[in-house]
Structure 1
Amino acid sequence: MIHEIATLTIKPGSEKDFEEAAAQAVPYFQKTPGALSFRLDRTIETPNEYTLTVGWATLEDHTVGFRESPEFQQWRELVGPHFASPPHVKHLQHAYVGF
């Protein structure tokens, strides 16, 4: 399993609308093979910054399966208008688990 970590900067004043759009988009992820989890967190110190964490079975499930699907386009249509800048995306793999 890998995690897609996306840092999203939202236009100030659009936070509530963005959160609603992200919630509406969850089914697009659920329909995608290999999608395992979806989590959206808001940064306390910077209220218009969010971290999206999506669990994927494989890297390709995200980079090929989702990114090349109609669901990705629908996701971007919902949330894209709220972006202040392009998302910064990286992929993580567990290296160590503590307590």
Structure 2
Amino acid sequence: MILEHAVLDVVAGRQDEYEAAFDEARHLIAGMPGFRSLRLERCLEVPTRYLLLVEWDSVEAHTVGFRGSPQYGRWRDLLHEFYDPFPTVEHYRTVLPSA
């Protein structure tokens, strides 16, 4: 299992609009092969910042499968206008699971 991690800074004043767009966009990613789960968290200290955590079967399920799909084009159209700056996306593998 791979964990995709992205810190998402949204243009101030557009958080409600972003959350509504994300609610629509999440259905696009959820149907992709290799998708496992998704969480979007909002920062308490910085209300324009979100944390996106997506579990995938593999890095390729995200980088090749999802990003190469028509669904990614719609995802981009729905969400990318909200980011300032554009986020860095990283992938993680579990080293030590919880006991």
The aligned amino acid for 1:66 is F
Partner of 1:27: 27
Q: Which residue of 2 aligns with 1:60?
A: 60
- 1:98 is displaced (CA, Å) by 2.5
Contiguous gaps of at least 5 residues in structure 1: none
Is 2:90 aligned against 1:73? no
Matched, 1:94 2:94: yes
In the alignment, what sits opposite 1:37?
37
Is there any run of 5+ residues in structure 2 with no aligned partner, and where?
A: none
Cα offset, 1:31, TM superposition:
1.7
Q: What SS class does the counterpart of residue 92 from structure 1 fall into?
A: strand
Report the residue type matching 2:61 in the other structure.
D
Cα displacement (A) at 1:7: 0.8
CA distance in 2, matches of 1:84, 1:13: 12
Task: Give the TM-score of the pair, scaled to structure 2.
Answer: 0.95
Aligned equivalents of 1:97 and 1:65: distance in 2? 27
Structure 1 stretches of 4+ moved >2 Å: none
Alignment size in residue pairs: 99
Using the size of structure 1 for normalisation, the TM-score is: 0.95
Over aligned residues, Cα RMSD in angstroms?
0.9
Give the aligned partner of residue 48 of structure 1: 48
For 2:93 and 2:32, locate their aligned partners in 1 and report how far apart those are by CA, in whole Å: 20
CA distance in 2, matches of 1:78, 1:48: 17
Q: Percent identity?
A: 36
